[in-house]
Amino acid sequence: MERPRLRRAREAAIDRISALPDGVLEHILGFLPADKAVQTSVLARRWRHLWRYTRRLSIIFSGRRRSADGFKKLMSGLLLLRNTAVALDEVEFSDTPLQKDDGTYINIWIRHVLSCQAKKLLIRSYIGAKLDGLPLISQHLQKLEFWCVGLGRNFLDFASCPLLQVLEITGGYILCERILSQSIKHLTIKFTSFSCEVRTRISIPSLVLMKLDFYVGKTPLLHTMPLLQTALVEPAFSAAEDYCDKGDSKECCGICANCCGEDIHSSGSMLLGGLSSAMNLELIALRGTIIFRRDLRWCPTFHNLKTLFLNEWCVANGPGALLCILEHSPVLEKLTLKLAKGPNHRREMDAVNNVMEKSSAISKHLKMVYVQCEVVDDRNGRLEEVMRHQPASSAMSLQSDAVFGIVQNR
């Protein structure tokens, strides 16, 4: 009779992985870094070609000793020997040992994997490689992500990618004149530098969600987006043309050429017109950022806008900007205002009070107003009194369930 210890040892030595079908093994290999997946070819005869049939490529710099030249050779062999008849579901290039001027190689590899029908493509290049070739062409690409990559020329023209729905750009810089697509639904650009010389034009009429979050450089020019539901625009620090700190409290002065829009875009809305279909909108900016305020000269009517979040830029120069937006938001239901910390909060609260006292400017649908401020004082009490005791003919008095809140900033 076999001893229990020997039986356990024999069972532990059984190669259970080899009992799995090829399709399962190929799926598992897709989660390994590509160079590690290739190394499994020496395990046994059966494993020799399994890596060539994976539907997922993780091209990650897993060996810190590998040189840039060695990595290029690995990539050339990997892409040439892989079975191109097997479509790719997902491809990731991440943390490669390439140099900043090696964007040409990445460009070639991208186009190769797209020819293999890749559906999702993630490019992470922490050395800021530049991609500025011809527009991408793919009948299968659905999601595209860039991290810390330089994008130029016509690289962001996706007219030849009819199934692309998600575009995310984090870090890096954009020097393209246009971001063009008829299919993208979700666009996120954050911590990214736009050109300070030329405004990038975003022409994506299919957009449902757009986030321009904490970017620098010239604010892009937005074309019409009739399907837009949710949008956030927050410049981190704008180019000189979009910024002014000549006012008494380092806010925009309202009289210089930049504030008055005396530039090549003075003939129409540059930003707000493209956001006019949004249902949920956040417009956040530093006090000296004038891109929103200047655009209000051509303020569109936000026919669908239900929720609105603004910070102190809308009252930095008095109540005019906030009043203008409310007058053009006929179905607004929820308004949130985040006022500045510091010596300006009293003046900003006075501006909010002045707007709310003009009841004709307030949507009759407005049910919730939240004000985040540094100090809760008599000015807040005045605002609360205005909101709760409007005349019977006012819009606010028609809403018996209106909610008003003042929250102190921490």
Rounded Cα distance between 65 and 100, Å, is 18
User: Does pLDDT of 197 surpass 50?
Assistant: yes
* Percent of the chain whose predicted confidence (pLDDT) is above 70: 77
Assess if residue 116 is contained within a domain.
Answer: yes
Assess if residue 67 is contained within a domain.
Answer: yes
pLDDT score, position 67: 80
Assess if residue 260 is contained within a domain.
Answer: no
Task: Characterize the bridge pairing of strands 130-131 and 90-94.
Answer: unpaired
Domain tally for the chain?
1
Lowest mean pLDDT among 35-44, 177-186, 298-307, 397-406: 397-406
How many other C-beta atoms can be found within 10 angstroms of the C-beta atom of residue 399? 18
pLDDT score, position 405: 56
Summarised one tens digit per residue, pLDDT across range 153-189 is: 999 999 999 999 999 999 999 999 999 999 999 999 9
Higher-confidence residue of 129 and 336: namely: 336
N residues, the chain: 410
User: Does pLDDT of 390 surpass 90?
Assistant: no
Instruction: Tell me the sheet residues that pair with 340.
Output: none
Q: Give the three-state DSSP class for 38.
A: helix
Summarised one tens digit per residue, pLDDT across range 73-119 is: 888 889 889 998 999 999 999 877 777 778 888 899 999 999 999 99
Structure tokens given for 179: 């971001």
Angstrom distances, CA of residue 198 to CA of 10, 152, 176, 265, 289? 70, 12, 9, 12, 18
Structural domain including 151 reads 17-184
Summarised one tens digit per residue, pLDDT across range 201-255 is: 999 999 999 999 999 999 999 999 999 999 999 998 765 567 665 555 445 555 5
Assess if residue 194 is contained within a domain.
Answer: no
pLDDT score, position 402: 43
Per the listing, tokens 């190689």 go with 105
Q: Sorting pLDDT into bands at 50, 70 and 90, what band is 318?
A: confident
Q: Report, as an integer, the average pLDDT of 126-151.
A: 91
Q: Report, as an integer, the average pLDDT of 6-26.
A: 73
Spatial contact of 169 and 212, defined as CB atoms under 8 Å apart: no
Assess if residue 404 is contained within a domain.
Answer: no
Assess if residue 242 is contained within a domain.
Answer: no
User: Does pLDDT of 12 surpass 70?
Assistant: no
User: Does pLDDT of 397 surpass 50?
Assistant: no
**pTM of this prediction?**
0.85
Average pLDDT, the chain: 82
Assess if residue 112 is contained within a domain.
Answer: yes
